[in-house]
A = this chain, B = another copy of it.
Amino acid sequence: MAIVVHHLNSSRSQRVLWLLEELEQPYEVIHYQRDSDTNLAPPELKNAHPLGKSPVIEDDGRVISESGAIIQYLCERHGGSDWLPRAGTDEYVSHLEWMQFGESSFFVPVMLKLFLARLGEAAAPVQPRIDEQLSAHIDFMESGIGDNLHFVGDGWTAADVLMSFPAEIALLQGYGEGHPKISRFVEKVHSRPAWQRARKKGGAYFVW
């Protein structure tokens, strides 16, 4: 049975579709649309997983959540071993770090900024700290991308898949100009035929 992806538009689940296209795996997309007023995920997502978040996949009778876990799982289980560095190498350790960074460290200032934007001027007392944190994280990403435009080693890895969303968020937040590697990395991702096929299947995706 094909893998099922519970996919929210303009969200981190877009990269799961991308990876599935790269791995040439059959999959079915169940679409969910953000609320046009609040931009929040619809409550129906709670039928897929108690936390009501996307992505969630179903495979072989099992529900799997958390982007980093899904990406790692798909590479290991569905023909993506080339996308994972070999255990025991330096690249393997860097890979572990980016697979965590992209979903943990990075998202704290991003989510704070999004929520605080809804408070307007009232958020002023904590705004400078958040902006400083977000800049520091984006600078760190810029410094982590190699000259070959990959996060780890010389070729594509699952870390590039995971980090594509943070890189896109950095551009959407206006950090493209001072961060040429992030900009070129996102262009390189978007030029992949597999990414373009996934983009069509995923529906509305920010400005891209």
Show the binding face of A for B, using Cβ within 8 Å: 50-53, 62, 64-69, 72-73, 76, 87, 90, 93, 96-97, 99-101, 103-105, 107-108, 111-112, 115-116, 118-119, 122-123, 125-126, 130, 136-137, 139-140, 143
Q: DSSP class of A's interface residues: helix, strand, loop or mixed?
A: helix
Q: How far is the CB of A157 from chain B (nearest CB, A)?
A: 14
Assuming the contacts A87-B76, A111-B112, A119-B123, asked whether A69 and B51 have C-beta atoms less than 8 A apart, the reply is no
Q: How far is the CB of A20 from chain B (nearest CB, A)?
A: 17
Residue of B whose beta carbon sits closest to that of A111: B108
Q: How far is the CB of A31 from chain B (nearest CB, A)?
A: 22
Distance between Cα atoms of A87 and B77 in the complex (Å)? 10
